[in-house]
Amino acid sequence: MMDNALIQLIARLKIRLRQEKGVSINTQKFFSDVGYASQTLDIAEECEDVELVTLAMDIRDKLGWISLPSAQPVTVTAPAPLATKSPVKAEQEKRYVFGARC
């Protein structure tokens, strides 16, 4: 048996696509032909209407067509601290006035 929420999403998509784009969805073909369904959802996602894009994405999610990559632990490394000069070296650089001597 089909999910009631999915049927409602497709019905809303069908109505909105007809209003916005003049595209009529054949629901029988939508459920039996994956290529047709994918193409129809692509048309909805190309619209400027946020509701149509969201409907298409929700339908893809409910049909299991959206798969997120497995959660990989993210390791964040702290930036390397800026090198600081030792007080002795800093003092030596202050005193150095002339070039190398032979």
- Is the pLDDT reported for residue 48 higher than 60? yes
* pTM for this entry: 0.62
Report how far residue 41's alpha carbon sits from residue 38's, in angstroms, rounded to the nearest whole number: 5
45 exposure class (CB count in 10 Å sphere: 0-12, 13-18, 19+): middle
Higher pLDDT, 58 or 75: 58
Q: Alpha helix (H) ranges present in the chain?
A: 4-21, 27-32, 34-45, 50-62, 87-95
Report how far residue 82's alpha carbon sits from residue 102's, in angstroms, rounded to the nearest whole number: 34
What is the average pLDDT across 10-20? 94
- Is the pLDDT reported for residue 6 higher than 70? yes
Structure confidence at residue 39 (pLDDT): 95
